[in-house]
Amino acid sequence: MSYLLYYSPDSANLVIRMILEELGAHYDDSEVPRRRSERDATFLRLNPRGLLPVLIDKANDTVLFETGAIALYLADRHGALAPSPQAAGHQEAQARANCLKWLFMLSNTLHADLRLCFYSERFVTQSSEIAPLRAAAAKRIQGHLALLEEMLAEHGGDHLLPWGLSVCDFYLGCCLRWSQLYPAGHAPMTAGEVERFPNLIRLLTALQRRPAVLRALNREGISGDAFIAPTVRLPARVADGVGAATA
Ligand SMILES: N[C@@H](CCC(=O)N[C@@H](CS)C(=O)NCC(=O)O)C(=O)O
């Protein structure tokens, strides 16, 4: 199996790169501009929304976008990093359901609210609305993290799912990285605030130690601790302007 990952360093593609590395999958990558408005027609044909990540499965010429969908596709294809959809018994069926629940929560709630912070200017008509929107999103994000912290505390493991290491861990790790970094100076949480979540810190520490994660970080040019009090790899993103584009 072989893949092509479209990326921009230290963007949402990092989730997928970590998963590809963990699976030991063979893949190439192709860099695209950081801003959606600068991505060309060829890329837009792959993802009409113009967003990263995009993954091509070369074995069957399949084009995938949406982080959660790509993560689950890879897990199912490789039979690793998620409980199998062919659940043989009650426990396996529950583990699969649990994985789907949290993966979708990360994708359509936590990541979606992070986008409200990163791209606030796109969701408003006047610049005076940006700070209140960002503050409201930050509050929601802190609530989501508190819920995830509780989930982890309940089973006390190093991974989000009691089942073991899954695609959810890589996705959550990146969301926590972004929560402390972006947008520069207005991140939903300061680096120190992550200390309020000792169970999440345990998960992040375990993630940072994985050789596959270190390889992925290296390929994206990220150094130091990527998840706890991280430092930004790139200059802050330049805003597209108020109401410049749809989310
Ligand atoms: N729901 C999408 C969101 C992806 C996303 O936010 N991609 C960012 C990468 S950090 C992007 O392409 N941003 C460029 C832009 O919107 O200008 C997913 O999960 O794939």
pLDDT of 235 strictly over 60: no
Best of 51, 113, 114, 234 for a ligand 1 pocket test (most atoms within 8 Å of beta carbon): 51
Give pLDDT, residue 65: 98
Give pLDDT, residue 59: 97
pLDDT of 243 strictly over 80: no
Give pLDDT, residue 236: 47
Q: pLDDT band for 88, please (50, 70, 90 cuts).
A: confident
Which of ligand 1's atoms lies nearest the C-alpha of 34?
A: 14
- Ligand 1 centre to CA of 155 (Å) is 32
Give pLDDT, residue 67: 98
For atom 15 of ligand 1, the residue with the nearest CA is: 36
pLDDT of 149 strictly over 80: yes
pLDDT tens string 11-37: 999 999 999 999 999 999 999 999 888
Q: Give all domains of the chain, ordered by start, each with its CATH number.
A: 2-78 (3.40.30.10), 90-210 (1.20.1050.10)
The model carries a pTM of 0.95
- Ligand 1 centre to CA of 11 (Å) is 8
Find the residues whose C-beta lies inside 6 A of ligand 1. Answer: 11-12, 35-36, 51-52, 65-67, 107, 111, 115, 119
- Alpha-carbon distance of 214 to 23, in angstroms, equals 14
Give pLDDT, residue 244: 64
pLDDT tens string 94-120: 999 999 999 999 999 999 999 999 999
Give pLDDT, residue 1: 86
pLDDT tens string 178-219: 999 999 889 999 888 999 999 999 999 999 999 999 999 999
pLDDT of 60 strictly over 50: yes
For atom 1 of ligand 1, the residue with the nearest CA is: 66
- Ligand 1 centre to CA of 77 (Å) is 24
Give pLDDT, residue 52: 97
- Ligand 1 centre to CA of 51 (Å) is 4
pLDDT tens string 156-180: 999 999 999 999 999 999 999 999 9
Give pLDDT, residue 191: 80
* Arithmetic mean of pLDDT, 143-165: 97
pLDDT of 247 strictly over 70: no
| Mean of per-residue pLDDT scores for the chain | 94
- Ligand 1 centre to CA of 69 (Å) is 13
pLDDT of 242 strictly over 80: no
Best of 47, 52, 246 for a ligand 1 pocket test (most atoms within 8 Å of beta carbon): 52
